[in-house]
Amino acid sequence: MHATESLATHAAVRSPRAVVVGHRGACAYRPEHTVASYELAIDLGADLIEPDIVVTMDGVLVARHENELSRTTDVASRPEFADRRTTRRVGRKKRTGWFAEDFTLEELRTLRAVERRPDLRPLNTAYDGHFGILTLEEIVELVRRRSTPQRRIRVLAELKKPTWSAERGQPMTELVAAELRRLDATSPDGPVVLQSFDAAALRRLRADLGDDGPQMLQLVDRAASDDHLLTNAGLRAVSTYAQGIAPCVDRILLRDADDTMTGVSDVVARAHAAGLLVVPWTLSAENAFLPRNLRSSDDPAAPGDALGAARLLLALGVDGIITDNPDVAVAAVAELQASPARSVAA
């Protein structure tokens, strides 16, 4: 089996090489969810690129970190959209801003992307205003265009709050299923893998697209409300509709209240025992995101030892790494591949 196909078989067969997923592209180096970010992730060696998917007013699936647009676009500076600013409760949080569901695709096309974390990634602001918003269709077209017989690139699409969208009259799961069918992307070895924190939505998609539909990963947050997903019973339940889990890295590399890494969990081994792939999120190189043990200084924006974190995750047998820095994870995977002592967990 080709290395980039470890997320491609319905039975969750594990690959001899962990895959690298470019989180929102290569968002440590370019504004997230832009064509430049996705292209760079592929250039740096990512096997998959990961867009977050939200729904427009006219039912189009587009890539944004969340449905509120002011942190990732220039919408706040557009006087023609000033009256769209509103306050809305999304899930458990109340947000004030401009929301994708209040804009048509044509209107969103007029907006330009900006860096979401200018404090941590100031160099990325040089690209503010250069790129627009992409549709899921365009991202699928991108990976198909960049794939070769020797190297296949795929999309790991995260569905953002699909149940919430459905409650507002935008049935995201139905829209996703219809779009994948239109794009001829519904097979387990097709160009799209789906993931979401919303287990009910993934179950609906599995029922709609069938057991031979696209692969799915159950995202698992660090919050206690997701603890049940990682019990043995929870993992068995996940295996009835998904091929893997995508847990927060902190679920594997454990930290105390001081952010010091205190050890590792048995999540990877137990998930594998349940027949599930494990693809944790998100490895980021800045000190702000790393355990205290792996930080280089007190400067939150300075790079720490992300390579060390990647090595730890790979040593535990993860099947992939979702990362803002694809080059770091690619280097760790290559290092492991070259090691004469390398072993593959059963």
- CB-based contacts of 246: which residues, under 8 Å, 6+ apart? 195, 217, 218, 219, 220, 278, 279, 280, 281, 322
pLDDT, one tens digit per residue, over 156-194 is 999 999 999 999 899 999 999 999 999 999 999 999 999
Residue type, 176: V
Q: What angle do CA 49, 122, 46 make, to 5 degrees?
A: 15
| Continuous H helices in the chain | 35-43, 105-108, 136-146, 162-167, 172-182, 199-209, 232-238, 267-273, 306-315, 326-338
- For domain 3-71+133-338, the CATH superfamily is Phosphatidylinositol (PI) phosphodiesterase (3.20.20.190)
R_g over Cα of the chain: 19
pLDDT score recorded for residue 16: 77
pLDDT, one tens digit per residue, over 308-342 is 999 999 999 999 999 999 999 999 999 998 876 54
pTM equals 0.94
Per the DSSP assignment, residues forming a β-bridge with 20 are 321
Is residue 318 a contact partner of residue 302, using CB atoms and an 8 Å limit?
Answer: no
* Domains in the chain: boundaries: 3-71+133-338
Is residue 81 a contact partner of residue 75, using CB atoms and an 8 Å limit?
Answer: yes
The tokens describing 130, both together, are 């250069």
Is residue 205 a contact partner of residue 173, using CB atoms and an 8 Å limit?
Answer: yes
pLDDT score recorded for residue 91: 76
pLDDT band per the 50, 70, 90 thresholds, residue 92? confident
